[in-house]
Structure 1
């Protein structure tokens, strides 16, 4: 499936929020508070420039990502971001399209690398995509994530040199 990725618009939020809400309440892949309310999620997700927010899909939003400098000051040459895919769109290339778009953005923006700070060790779909695109695991914080069915699992730090 070929997925279009474009800059998010203000009118995309009604389709972005259910994706975020579903992902965080499942508590399987993203270490965000599952009780996060919509206004807080909106502030956290829709970051102002120079950060970037995108959606995947044309009329229907199938996934979303935000991307930004991982740290300020002396660390601002490393990008980071978060990607979320709608449950009904998983396994259809949306995560790969969002990740590829993030890599292209980071290169265009002059970042030296991309670092994902907290990839849940059991999120094998995401890990497989990231590794296929050249990311490596720098290390894993053991038992740093409470998975609802698998108990305490690791959080990986994943890195892509640009």
Structure 2
């Protein structure tokens, strides 16, 4: 890791959450903010840890290697503001995301986010619902812009989603990731300003 980013923006409680919506399949969902107050992870955070580990094992979208136990997951994924998407009728967690500074200090007004969706729920609108909420949540947490550093070119669903929501491609990192079963892939960088011009 190039630098450690302090958690000064993670304490904000979003008062309008939970927020409800529906997936393409008609299932009702709700987005909640995770507030981890002690060392033991909540049920929702534990479910996100399992989804995250499945995605790492899949090896196609995140750069991490190896299993994330509770401590490692908390330090990476829950270090700042974090949110879980769950089914309204059962409470089953099907996805989530974090929001944290992309850079430290004087550049910490630009945030980054990491989205995960349970493999069984991909393609059903969970990612889009979370992305739309992200565009509302990040400025409320004090961020002025968003930057995604590593959207691999093989992840066409993610590329289409961010472009459809007005994010601009600002760069390419050649052969940024050695993805499982694919090999070296370029990564795109996306940017979005939350500040109205």
Shared topology, TM-score over 0.5? yes
Give distance in 1, aligned partners of 2:46 and 2:170: 36
User: Any idea what SS the aligned residue of 2:170 has?
Assistant: strand
**Aligned 8 A contact 2:110 2:143 in 1:** yes
Residues 24-63 of structure 1: CA deviation (Å, up to 9, x unaligned) = 111101111234444312321112xxx3100011301010
Q: For residues 109 and 95 of structure 1, do their structure 2 counterparts lie closer, same or farther at Cα, with a shift above 3 Å needed?
A: same
Contact 2:102 2:111 in 1 (8 A): yes
Corresponding residue for residue 8 of structure 1? 34
Are 1:56 and 1:97, in contact at CA under 8 Å, matched by a contact in 2? no
Summarize deviations over 1:80-103 as a string: whole Å, max 9, x none. Answer: 110110000100111111111211
User: CA separation in 2, counterparts of 1:25 and 1:34?
Assistant: 8
Tell me by how many angstroms 1:12 deviates: 1.2
Q: 1:15 to 1:28 in 2, by over 3 A?
A: same
The one of 85, 103, 108 equivalent to 1:56 is 85
TM-fit CA distance, 1:124: 0.9
Number of corresponding residues = 159
> Considering only CA atoms, is the larger Rg found in Structure 1 or Structure 2?
2
Structure 1 length-normalised TM: 0.90
Please state which structure has a larger fraction of its residues in helix.
1
Gaps of 5+ in 2: 1-22, 36-41
C-alpha distance in 1 between matches for 2:135 and 2:125: 15
Q: Secondary structure at the match of 2:62?
A: coil
Deviations, residues 94-141 of structure 1 (Å, cap 9, x unaligned): 111111121111122332210011111111111111111111111111
**Gaps (5+ residues) in structure 1?**
none
1:135 aligns with 2:167: yes
Secondary structure at the residue paired with 1:83? strand
Match of 1:77 among 102, 109, 117: 109
CA RMSD of aligned residues (A): 1.5
Residues 143 and 153, structure 1, Cα contact 8 Å, conserved in 2: yes
1:112-151 aligned within 5 A? 112-151=144-183
Say which SS state the counterpart of residue 131 (structure 1) adopts. helix
Q: What TM-score, normalized by structure 2, do the two folds share?
A: 0.75
Alignment of 1:102-117 (within 5 A): 102-117=134-149
Alpha-carbon distance in 1 for matches of 2:112, 2:46 = 24
Contact 2:46–2:70 at 8 Å: present in 1 too?
A: no
Q: CA deviation at 1:16?
A: 1.1
